[in-house]
Amino acid sequence: MTEGRDWVRVVDRDRCPDCGLMASQVDPTEVPAALRAEAQAWQDLLCGDRFDDGALRRRPAPDVWSALEYACHVRDVLAVFVERTRRTLVEDDPRFGWWDHDAAAVAERYNDQDPVVVAAAVVVAADELAVTVEAVPPDAWGRSARRGDGASFTLAGLARFVLHESHHHLRDATVAAGDGRV
């Protein structure tokens, strides 16, 4: 199996063609504040009055996640990247295995979870990753790691990618819960 999105390329591109984020232009020291802001946006999406429970759980197509499934995915991505960030700080060029996010969605029954609980967990996970990223020494941003297929990236790229992941999927979730338009 391979990673679904080329996460090395996403952080080097000027602008994501789907969500518009220019991750390559984000200073990695700004990622913690951005992650916390993204978590608040997830909280607003899942707990606000814009979408009802049915809209949050509705899949716009059989092969497209619901807003709630995207939120659970982001919660879990944040947790995975806490571990990956910590490993990159202490190991020389660690190699990360592939995390099967589709299998996680099924095994953890993402669409059956409580949106309020998920929203709170996204906030907690974002804060844990933000604290972890805030602790990165200035001279460590260039530390390298490899994903399962051998593609190399830096700690700065890893931080930018996880920010992109949250931002991108917030857009996906908003579209899934709404009428298909951003």
> Does any domain span residue 3?
no
**CB 24 within 8 Å of CB 160:** yes
The CB density around residue 49, as the number of other CB atoms within 10 Å, is 6
For the residues 18-39, what does the mean pLDDT come to? 94
> Does any domain span residue 130?
yes
Q: What is the pLDDT of residues 123-168, one digit of tens each?
A: 999 999 999 999 999 999 999 999 888 888 899 999 999 999 999 9
Q: Residue 83: what pLDDT?
A: 96
Q: Residue 1: what pLDDT?
A: 29
> Does any domain span residue 128?
yes
What DSSP designation does 61 have?
B
CATH number for the domain spanning 62: value is: 1.20.120.450
> Does any domain span residue 66?
yes
**CB 154 within 8 Å of CB 141:** yes
Q: Residue 82: what pLDDT?
A: 97
**CB 56 within 8 Å of CB 68:** yes
pTM (2 decimals)?
A: 0.92
> Does any domain span residue 75?
yes
Residue 4 has pLDDT above 50, yes or no: no
Residue 2 has pLDDT above 50, yes or no: no
The number of folded domains in the chain is: 1
